[in-house]
Chains A and B, each alone.
Chain A
């Protein structure tokens, strides 16, 4: 419970501080928030009490706090990277909202991951989603941002509606909303399968799996870039965590069904995500679609239904957080400095901004799963997991898709390193916070793979079906 309490406290402190600050002092909120959140992140790594609360609605296990820590690290990097953007004039009077909204969603995610029954799960889900819509519409004077907000809130409302309908059927068929009870009573009757599928669609929406993904690109494009990176890594990561937990814990009886579902959906997701990503020119949209394809890979880990599957999913999310935040960080730094967001604006970037380009390249390689950076390990373990359940053809299709994805990731590398242009982005230097965020992401990309202890630690916490 420490995560939730601490973060809630931080959010409250920020709220109060914000009220007390004069308009001219508003920027001071940033260091305060950063410091507090850093402390929170570090504190999360200390061993916490295990156990259940509220009669089983809330559970805390080392695995779950590990998941929360993974999210924390991601959020910390995002916050660091948002500095330049936040300091813009237009955002001056709503800085604290940014933090508060973000922390609220994060609290929601904590609860969602920690949930021991569907009620807590639903609460957490909505707590995570609703402020997110507000975040998407953060720059309210921009049509795109507003559009993103409305698209997100309406689509997510629809998806939660369907999910809820599924939950109601689950309740109807088992008489309980507690995970442990539901798991006991759950079978493979048609209504239960139906209920599961409704539930799954709702979750698929959160992880943006094809065909439930269509909102993703528009929302990603419209939202402020740091919010986008938040969506694409944190929100997606949290949803993946809870999905894998619920699949393994609650629906283990349905394993034959959901393995097939994941099989189909993951192929669709990877293929469609890749095909859309191929032709994107806007970096944000490009990363959005690439993150859809990445979500397809995550399913490969889940499909195994074993400890290996769980580990590979968590590990991959961790790696993915670093890689994607590396990419988003660069895009964000460039957008903040120059306002340029298209891929061909990146032409010749290496000549003017070599360090940024190198980081971007590492991030791209990591996303594509190229060794020796972390992405390779992440993908490899996902594939290992799928293969452990005998899904060799799925692995094959997935690696082929990884190859296709390599194409567009390399297009970015090509733009930066190979393309020549008269007017490259001028050399610029980001501020310290942004750089710290970038370095953190870069460090993660390089280190997490080689450093096998990370994986082993996650593995030691992970469990398979029916834990």
Chain B
């Protein structure tokens, strides 16, 4: 395979995505946006898996399967999360994360 993009590029991208996701999770005030940040994290993981699989271990398919499963699980997670966020909206009339601090200390 000539002229391919080096593995490092994928890793850099995925790392950037990972930290972007974390940054987003820690700073966005909207619950939905936070959820999206989490998707970023999960996707960075997927990139990792796929890239590792493709570049380092082309003999097996573990990474590919793993990323598929992660996508599926992420979908399930998002579904439940959004259901709960809707519930939050019903109760708090807002999806601002800072409002959701009734319980503390």
Binding site for B on A (CB under 8 A): 118-119, 122-123, 126, 130-131, 133-134, 137, 140-144, 146-151, 153-154, 157-158, 160-162, 164-165, 167-169, 171-172, 175-177, 217-218, 221-222, 285
CA distance A13 to B78 in the complex (A): 27
Choose one: B21, B62, B76, B80; the contact of A119 (CB below 8 Å): B62
**C-alpha gap A165/B76 in the complex (Å):** 19
Q: Within 8 Å CB of A176, what residues of B?
A: 57, 60, 62
- Closest Cβ neighbor of B62 among chain A residues: A177
Q: Is the CB of B21 within 8 A of A153?
A: no
A217 and B103 contact, CB distance less than 8 A: yes
Q: Which residue of B31, B66, B102 contacts A177 across the interface (Cβ within 8 Å)? A: B66
Interface residue count on the B side (C-beta < 8 Å): 43
The 6 closest A-B pairs by CB, nearest first: A161-B41, A168-B48, A172-B52, A149-B84, A175-B57, A143-B91
Query: Does B49 lie within 8 Å of A171, measured CB to CB?
Result: yes
Cβ of B69 within 8 Å of any chain A Cβ, yes or no, is yes
Contact present for A143 and B102 (CB under 8 Å): yes
Say if the beta carbon of B73 comes within 8 Å of chain A.
yes
Query: Is the CB–CB distance between B103 and A222 below 8 Å?
Result: yes
A133 lies within 8 A of B48 (CB): no
Partner of A154, one of B81, B87, B90: B81
Most buried by A among B25, B62, B85, B103: B103
Q: Which residues of chain A have C-beta atoms less than 8 A from B77's C-beta?
A: 126, 130, 153, 157, 160
Of the candidates A133, A158, A172, A221, the one having the most CB atoms from chain B within 10 angstroms of its own CB is: A172
- In the complex the two chains form, is B88's CB within 8 Å of A150's CB? yes
Contacts of B92 in A (CB 8 A): 143, 146
Cross-chain contact B103 with A221 (CB below 8 angstroms): yes
Within 8 A of A (CB), among B1-57: 14, 18, 21-22, 25, 31, 34-35, 38, 41-42, 44-45, 48-49, 52-53, 56-57
Whether A146 contacts B104 in the complex (CB less than 8 A), given A157-B81, A168-B45, A171-B49, comes out as: no
From A119, A140, A161, contact of B45 by CB (8 A)? A161
Q: Give the one of B25, B31, B34, B66 with max A CB within 10 A.
A: B66
Report whether A151 and B100 are in contact in the complex, using a CB–CB cutoff of 8 Å. yes
Question: CA–CA, A157 to B78, complex, Å?
Answer: 9
Tell me if A134 and B80 are in contact (CB < 8 A). Answer: yes
The chain B residue with its CB closest to the CB of A221 is B103
Q: Is the CB of B49 within 8 A of A157?
A: no
Complex-state Cα separation, A146 to B22, whole angstroms? 23
A143-B102, A154-B81, A172-B56 in contact; A119/B49 too (CB < 8 A)?
Answer: no
Is B42 in contact with A146, judged by CB distance below 8 angstroms?
no
User: In the assembled complex, which residues on chain B have CB atoms less than 8 Å from the CB atom of A142?
Assistant: 91
* Residue from B62, B69, B90 within 8 A of A171 (CB atoms): B62
Would A126 and B73 count as touching, CB distance under 8 A? yes
A137 touches B48 (CB 8 A): no
Q: Chain A at the B interface: mostly helix, strand, loop or mixed?
A: helix
Q: How far is the CA of A145 from the CA of B48 in the complex (A)?
A: 36
Contact A161 B42 (CB under 8 A): yes
Instruction: Return chain A residues, CB-CB under 8 Å to B53.
Output: 171
B65 to chain A, nearest CB (A): 7
Residues in B57-84 with C-beta less than 8 Å from chain A: 57, 60, 62-63, 65-66, 69-70, 73, 76-77, 80-81, 83-84
The residue on B at minimum CB distance from A284 is B103
For the complex with contacts A144-B102, A171-B66, 11 further pairs of A-B residues with Cβ separation under 8 Å are A146-B84, A146-B92, A147-B100, A150-B84, A153-B81, A157-B38, A161-B42, A167-B66, A168-B63, A171-B52, A222-B103
Minimum C-beta distance from A108 to chain B (A): 11
**Bound Cα distance from A147 to B35, whole angstroms:** 15
A218 to B103, CA, bound (A): 6
For this complex, 22 residue pairs linking A to B, each with C-beta atoms less than 8 Å apart, are A122-B69, A126-B76, A130-B77, A137-B84, A140-B87, A143-B92, A146-B88, A147-B91, A148-B103, A150-B31, A154-B31, A157-B35, A158-B41, A161-B18, A161-B22, A164-B45, A165-B18, A165-B44, A172-B48, A172-B52, A175-B57, A221-B103
Q: Report how far A227 CA is from B25 CA in the complex, Å.
A: 27
Q: For the complex, what is the distance from the CA of A194 to the CA of B88, rounded to whole Å? A: 36
**Contact between chains at A122 and B73 (CB < 8 Å):** yes
A280 smallest CB distance to B (angstroms): 9
The complex places the Cα of A266 from the Cα of B103 at a distance, in Å, of 25
Within the complex, the shortest CB–CB distance from B20 to chain A, in Å, comes to: 12
Chain B nearest CB: distance from A159 CB in Å?
Answer: 10
A-side contacts of B100, CB under 8 Å: 147, 150-151
Chain B residues contacting A157 (CB-CB under 8 Å) are 35, 38, 77, 81
In the complex, the answer to whether B21 meets A161 with C-beta atoms within 8 Å is: yes
Query: Which single residue of chain A is at the shortest CB-CB distance from B15?
Result: A165
**Chain A residue contacts of B56, Cβ below 8 A:** 172, 175
**Chain B residues whose CB sits within 8 angstroms of the CB of A130 once the complex forms:** 73, 76-77, 80
Specify which of B73, B76, B103 is in contact with A147 (CB 8 Å cutoff): B103
Query: What is the bound-complex CA distance between A175 and B59, given in angstroms?
Result: 10
CB closest chain-B residue, reference A142? B91
Contact A169 B48 (CB under 8 A): yes
Minimal Cβ-Cβ distance residue in B for A117: B62
When chains A and B are docked, how far (Å) is the Cα of A149 from the Cα of B90?
13
A146-B41 contact given A172-B56, A175-B56, A175-B60, CB 8 Å threshold = no
Q: Give the docked Cα–Cα distance between A137 and B103 (Å).
A: 14
